C-alpha cells in the first residue's frame, strides 16, 4: 500500500470514523482506549487490505495458515480488540505481556502504556514474529519486545506483568502466567470451557484467580504445550462439524450416519430472554458429553441442520457417542422458544435431557463466576452447591458458580 499524503490523511479520517462507530456501539468506553485507536495506523499491519477495509469494524487482518490451510494466527477485528483493551485497563507505566503476536494490538497496548511502560509480545511462529517486528517498526513502535517462544512458559525476563493479554484461546491456563503476574495484575484470556470460549478477566484472590467479568469471543487456539485437547469431527462434507473435548466419547462414523436420519424435536416453555449467550455456557458445564456443532448456510439450506450460527450451536452426545442433539430456537407469540433437535438411536432421550437443562436455566442469571484453582486443590476448598460445576484440567480446577437471582455485572 503506497503511503502518500492523501493516503495518510484519509487513514486518519477513517480512524476517527472507526472510533466514533466503536463508541456508538458501546465498545469503547474510556479515553485511553479511544486515544490509542486514533493513534495507531491499523492499515500498516494489514497492507493487503484497502484502507477502507483495514478500518472497518469487522475486518480480520492477515491470516497465517498451517500446512493444512487452517488459520493459526490473525489480527482480530477491531471491535474485538477494543473490547479486550477495555477489559485490560492498561494505564501509563503498565508492564504488559501479549500472548499471540500480530503487531497492531501490541502497538495499541504500547500507546496506552506510554514511554514509562513496557510491552512484550510472544509467539511460537517465526513467520508471525518476523512480520510483527517489521510492521511495528514501520508504525513507529520499536520499543515493543517481540519474542519467539512457546508462550506456555511466559516471558520471565520481562516479568512481572501488570496485564497479561492472550489473543489465542486456552483450555488450561499455564501456571507460569500466574507466576509472572504482578500481585494486583489481571489476565485477559479467551478461556475455552468445553468448546465455548469466553474472554475472561481474571484477578488474584489468594491462591486462586477469579473472574471480574467476561464476554463472548472466538479466537484461534494457542499452539505449543497449551494447545487445547479437542477434536473436530466432520459429519458431512457440505459443512457440518462437531467439536468436542478430547475426553468425550464420539464415534465419527456413527454420528455422521445419525445426521442423515429423521430428526426428533422437543421444545421448552416459551419465555422472554434479552440475551441467551449464558444458556450456551450453562449447557456446556452441566453436561459432560458436550460439543459445539458448526454448520454452513449451505448445510442449513439443504435441510441437514435447523440453524447456521457463526458462533456455533451447543450440542450434547449420548454416553457412547453415537447420537447427538443440538440447541434449536424459534419465535412464538409468547416469546423465544428454545428446544432441541436430535439424531440417532438415542435422540428421544437426548432431546428430553436437553429440554430439562433449558428449563433449569435461570434466565436472570446470565453470568457465572469463574474461578481457577491450582490442580490438586481439595474438593472441600472449592465452592459447593446446586449451581456449581467443576471442570478438572491437568493444571487447573475451573469452577463455575451461577448466582440465583441478579446477574453479575461485567
CATH number of the CATH domain containing 212: 3.40.50.150
pLDDT of residue 288: 86
pLDDT of residue 357: 92
Q: For 342, which DSSP code? A: E
- Whether 27 is covered by a domain: the verdict is no
Residues 257, 122 share a domain: no
Residues 168, 119 share a domain: yes
Residues 307, 170 share a domain: no
State which residues form the domain around 291. Answer: 230-360
Task: Using alpha carbons, list the distances in angstroms from residue 329 to 111, 148, 269, 289.
Answer: 43, 45, 11, 21
- Whether 372 is covered by a domain: the verdict is no
Residues 157, 99 share a domain: yes
Q: How far apart are CA 204 and CA 197, in angstroms?
A: 21
Average pLDDT per consecutive 10 residues, the chain (410 residues; last block may be shorter): 67 94 94 97 90 86 60 73 96 97 95 98 94 96 97 97 94 95 96 87 94 84 74 91 90 96 93 74 87 92 89 92 95 87 97 93 73 96 86 93 53
The string of pLDDT tens digits covering residues 166-208 is 998 898 999 999 999 999 999 999 998 887 889 999 999 988 9
Residues 297, 267 share a domain: yes
- Whether 265 is covered by a domain: the verdict is yes
- The residue among 168, 184, 216 that closes a domain is 216
Residues 210, 235 share a domain: no
Residues 263, 149 share a domain: no
- The residue among 190, 216, 242 that closes a domain is 216
pLDDT of residue 139: 96
H-helix or E-strand containing 9? helix 5-24
Residues 349, 249 share a domain: yes
pLDDT of residue 247: 86
The string of pLDDT tens digits covering residues 41-58 is 999 998 888 889 889 888
Q: Which residues of 165-181 are buried (b: 16+ CB within 10 A; e: fewer)?
A: bbbbbbbbbbebbbebb
H-helix or E-strand containing 37? helix 31-39
Q: Is 101 a catalytic residue?
A: no
- Whether 29 is covered by a domain: the verdict is no
Domain count, the chain: 2
Residues 6 or more apart whose Cβ sits within 8 Å of residue 278: 361, 363, 365, 366, 367, 368, 407
H-helix or E-strand containing 335? strand 335-343
Residues 236, 208 share a domain: no
Residues 349, 262 share a domain: yes
Query: To which residue does cell 499491519 refer?
Result: 45
Bridge partners of 187? 164, 202
- Whether 365 is covered by a domain: the verdict is no
User: What is the length of the chain?
Assistant: 410
pLDDT of residue 408: 39
H-helix or E-strand containing 78? helix 78-88
- Whether 159 is covered by a domain: the verdict is yes
Cell of 235: 459429519
- The residue among 216, 243, 260 that closes a domain is 216
Other CB atoms within 10 Å distance of the CB of residue 268: 19
Residues 344, 212 share a domain: no
Residues 271, 185 share a domain: no
- Whether 223 is covered by a domain: the verdict is no
Based on its alpha-carbon atoms, the radius of gyration of the chain, rounded to whole angstroms, reads: 22
The answer to whether residues 305 and 296 touch, using CB atoms and an 8 Å cutoff, is: no
- Whether 119 is covered by a domain: the verdict is yes
**Active-site entry in 13, 68, 76, 348:** 76
Amino acid at each position: 500500500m503506497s503511503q502518500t499524503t492523501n493516503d495518510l490523511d484519509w487513514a486518519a479520517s477513517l480512524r476517527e470514523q472507526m472510533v466514533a462507530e466503536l463508541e456508538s456501539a458501546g465498545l469503547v468506553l474510556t479515553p485511553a482506549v479511544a486515544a490509542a485507536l486514533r493513534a495507531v495506523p491499523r492499515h500498516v499491519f494489514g497492507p493487503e487490505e484497502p484502507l477502507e477495509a483495514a478500518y472497518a469494524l469487522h475486518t480480520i487482518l492477515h491470516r497465517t495458515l498451517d500446512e493444512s490451510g487452517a488459520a493459526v494466527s490473525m489480527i482480530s477485528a477491531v471491535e474485538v480488540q477494543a473490547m479486550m483493551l477495555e477489559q485490560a485497563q492498561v494505564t501509563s507505566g503498565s508492564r504488559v505481556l501479549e500472548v499471540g503476536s500480530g503487531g497492531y494490538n501490541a502497538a495499541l497496548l504500547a500507546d496506552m502504556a506510554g514511554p514509562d511502560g513496557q510491552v512484550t509480545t510472544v509467539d511460537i511462529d517465526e513467520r508471525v514474529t518476523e512480520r510483527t517486528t517489521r510492521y511495528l517498526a514501520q508504525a513507529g513502535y520499536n520499543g515493543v519486545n517481540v519474542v519467539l517462544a512457546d508462550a506456555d512458559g511466559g516471558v520471565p525476563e520481562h516479568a512481572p506483568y501488570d496485564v497479561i493479554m492472550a489473543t489465542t484461546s486456552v483450555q488450561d491456563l499455564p501456571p507460569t502466567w500466574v507466576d509472572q503476574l504482578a500481585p494486583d495484575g489481571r489476565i485477559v484470556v479467551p478461556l475455552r470451557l468445553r468448546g465455548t470460549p469466553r474472554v475472561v478477566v481474571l484477578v488474584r484472590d489468594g491462591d486462586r484467580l477469579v473472574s471480574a467479568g467476561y464476554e463472548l469471543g472466538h479466537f484461534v487456539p494457542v499452539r505449543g504445550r497449551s494447545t487445547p485437547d479437542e477434536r473436530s469431527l466432520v459429519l458431512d462434507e457440505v459443512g457440518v462439524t462437531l467439536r468436542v473435548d478430547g475426553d468425550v466419547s464420539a464415534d465419527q462414523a456413527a454420528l455422521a450416519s445419525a445426521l442423515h436420519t429423521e430428526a426428533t424435536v422437543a421444545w421448552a416453555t416459551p419465555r422472554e430472554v434479552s440475551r441467551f449467550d449464558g444458556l450456551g455456557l450453562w449447557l456446556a458445564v452441566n453436561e459432560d458429553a458436550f460439543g459445539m456443532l458448526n454448520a454452513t448456510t449451505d448445510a442449513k439450506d439443504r435441510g441437514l441442520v435447523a440453524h447456521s450460527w457463526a458462533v456455533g450451536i451447543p450440542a450434547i452426545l449420548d454416553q457412547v457417542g453415537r447420537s447427538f442433539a443440538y440447541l434449536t430456537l424459534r419465535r412464538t407469540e409468547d416469546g423465544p422458544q428454545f428446544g432441541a433437535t436430535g439424531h440417532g438411536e438415542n435422540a428421544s432421550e437426548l432431546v428430553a435431557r436437553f429440554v430439562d437443562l433449558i428449563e433449569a436455566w435461570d434466565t436472570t442469571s446470565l453470568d457465572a463466576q469463574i474461578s481457577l484453582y491450582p490442580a490438586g486443590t481439595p474438593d472441600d476448598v472449592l465452592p459447593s452447591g446446586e449451581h456449581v460445576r467443576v471442570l478438572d484440567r491437568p493444571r487447573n480446577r475451573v469452577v463455575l458458580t451461577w448466582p440465583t437471582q441478579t446477574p453479575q455485572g461485567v
